[in-house]
């Protein structure tokens, strides 16, 4: 799978509205056939930073995402709400699911 983590620093005046601002992009991406997950979290250390964790089935699915109309619309629309260019880490990893963190195994 293609596993991506990206950090989006949103302008302070738009930070509280970011979930709504990014909603159509998020929903459209989650609806893609090759999208495994697309999840936003707000940083505990910086209330203006949102972390996006996303995964796509394979390179073809990732390519389809980047070529989609909703991705192109997001490229045009979302930067006006950002304080800086988002930062990204992108890897191809085996599998299509989260693995267990064995060092913190819960036995009940």
Structure confidence at residue 49 (pLDDT): 98
Structure confidence at residue 106 (pLDDT): 94
Across the range 32-53, mean pLDDT stands at: 98
What residue segments make up the domains of the chain, in order of their start? 2-94
Structure confidence at residue 30 (pLDDT): 98
Which fold does the domain 2-94 belong to in CATH? Alpha-Beta Plaits (3.30.70)
pLDDT digits (tens, 9 = 90+) for 52-63: 999 999 999 999
C-alpha to C-alpha distances, 2 to 33, 40, 61, nearest whole angstrom: 14, 17, 9
* Type and span of the H or E element at 2: strand 2-9
Across the range 65-88, mean pLDDT stands at: 98
């Amino acid at each position: 799978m293609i596993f991506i983590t990206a950090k989006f620093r949103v302008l302070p005046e738009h930070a509280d509205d970011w979930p709504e601002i990014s909603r159509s992009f998020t929903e459209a991406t989650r609806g893609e056939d090759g999208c495994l997950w697309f999840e936003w979290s707000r940083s505990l250390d910086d209330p203006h930073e949102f972390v996006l964790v996303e995964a796509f089935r394979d390179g073809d699915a990732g390519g389809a995402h980047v070529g989609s109309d909703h991705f192109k619309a997001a490229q045009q629309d979302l930067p006006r709400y950002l304080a800086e260019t988002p930062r990204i880490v992108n890897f191809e990893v085996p599998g299509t699911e989260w693995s267990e963190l064995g060092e913190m195994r819960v036995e009940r």
